[in-house]
Amino acid sequence: MEKSEKKGRKSTPLDSRIWRRYVQYLKLERGFSSHTQEAYLEDLRKWLRFLEDEYVDARYVSLDHLERFVVALAEVGVQARSQARILSGLRSFYRFLMVEREIDADPTELLESPKIGKHLPDVLSLDEINALMDAVDLSKDEGHRDRAMLEMLYSCGLRVSELCNLQMSNLYLDEGFVRVMGKGDKERIVPLSPQVTEELGYWFDDRNRIEPRPGHENYVFLSLRRRTKLSRILVFHVIKELAGQCGLQKNVSPHTFRHSFATHLLEGGANLRAIQAMLGHESIATTEIYMHIDRSRLREEILEHHPRNLLYKERCRAD
């Protein structure tokens, strides 16, 4: 049947049976969190909408279909980094179809991802970290909460989702560590500094006067107005407000504290494997981005202090 004859009755690009099995695969076999599962499924929905317009079943696509999909993403303004993420999700989906014997060959095998340059994240100096901490108004009802929140982001290197979901039962203040549930429900143990423990103590004095809503009793950080666990948006808002008060020109977000935590550890001589464990990175390659930051600093130090370079500078001044 010609494509023109099909106009007005688009085919279904994926059997609902396969969709249900893939959802189970992401949840049970890959162990993804609900947030990550939804991200994978939303990217798959983009692909299926594209295939619906092409009148193609998802099991019978070619490399040409995939390449035209990438072009379509670029045309609507999807950036290279987001394109790469979407394609990573499609590779996962077609690996699943191979395992399930729904297809005989993986159409994504020869698909190239868009080139992405290495991104060196903004890193705050210790003085900038201190300035943000000092900018918290402790006379406000939320003051001690916000100070403890910033201390945990920086001193423990938490992701914002990990901070918001942190449970009272995961804090071991006497022993000096916190149990963190990271991506894919992977657990890690992170030490608590005396400063964090002290700030948490001040916040708990205030928190004891709040009656959390049912289901939110065990969360460490609460919204004072809603009496529920903190939202990611509120954490972003607090940090942006403080950065504005300090006049920081850098792009400061909750993740900036995590980057700064890792970079300062590396600069202080910490082992890269130890930093990997603290951050909860599954691959050391993810942690190695901090090596690029440290190498830049190392180069500056060498140029500043190496005797041959000092001699060169003196000759230049003499000329």
Q: Which SS3 state, helix, strand or coil, does residue 115 take?
A: coil
Q: Point out the catalytic residue in the list 144, 145, 147, 159.
A: 159
177-181 and 171-172 beta bridge pairing: antiparallel
How much of the chain is helix, strand and coil, in % rounded to 5? 60, 5, 35
Q: Point out the catalytic residue in the list 65, 179, 188, 255.
A: 255
Q: Which of 165, 160, 179 is nearest to 221 (CA)?
A: 165
Q: Which SS3 state, helix, strand or coil, does residue 37 take?
A: helix
177-181 and 187-191 beta bridge pairing: antiparallel
Catalytic residue status for 226: no
Catalytic residue status for 258: yes
Catalytic residue status for 3: no
Q: Point out the catalytic residue in the list 27, 183, 216, 227.
A: 183
In the structure encoding, which two tokens stand for residue 65, read together? 């279909």
Catalytic residue status for 183: yes
Q: Assess contact for 258 and 163: CB atoms under 8 A.
A: no
Q: Point out the catalytic residue in the list 207, 258, 259, 264.
A: 258
**What does the alpha-carbon distance between residue 58 and residue 50 come to, in Å, rounded to a whole number?**
10
In the structure encoding, which two tokens stand for residue 72, read together? 């379509």
Residues forming the active site: 159, 183, 255, 258, 281, 290
